[in-house]
Amino acid sequence: MLRGAVPGRAVFNGPDFEPLIGVYGTLFFVMAQVLNRIRFGHAPTTPICAGDGLIVAGGLLVAFWGG
């Protein structure tokens, strides 16, 4: 069978990048918040802190979910 000829089948059979993407997204967001605080002096408000928690929880879920 030709690789990539069947819709919905993975063409790339390399390592699983989902955990890496979860960690990358979380770290990117956290670093953006740190930069915002250090460079611009803006402290996050309560809704932003709640959103931060959801983003970090989602990144950890993607990174460490056992499925």
Residue 10 is assigned to a structural domain of this protein: no
In whole angstroms, give the CA distance from residue 25 to residue 19.
10
Residue 49 is assigned to a structural domain of this protein: yes
Using the structure block, give the residue that is written with the tokens 């402290």.
43
* Full domain range(s) for residue 50: 18-64
Q: Provide the pLDDT for residue 66.
A: 66
Please give the helix or strand (H or E) that residue 17 lies within, else none: none
Q: Provide the pLDDT for residue 10.
A: 55
Question: Cβ distance 26 to 63 under 8 Å?
Answer: yes
Residue 59 is assigned to a structural domain of this protein: yes
Mean pLDDT rounded to a whole number for the chain: 80
In whole angstroms, give the CA distance from residue 25 to residue 31.
10
| Whether the predicted pLDDT of 51 surpasses 90 | yes
Q: What's the domain count of the chain?
A: 1
Residue 6 is assigned to a structural domain of this protein: no
| Whether the predicted pLDDT of 62 surpasses 70 | yes
Residues 11-37: pLDDT tens digits?
A: 556 667 777 888 888 899 889 999 999
| Whether the predicted pLDDT of 46 surpasses 90 | yes
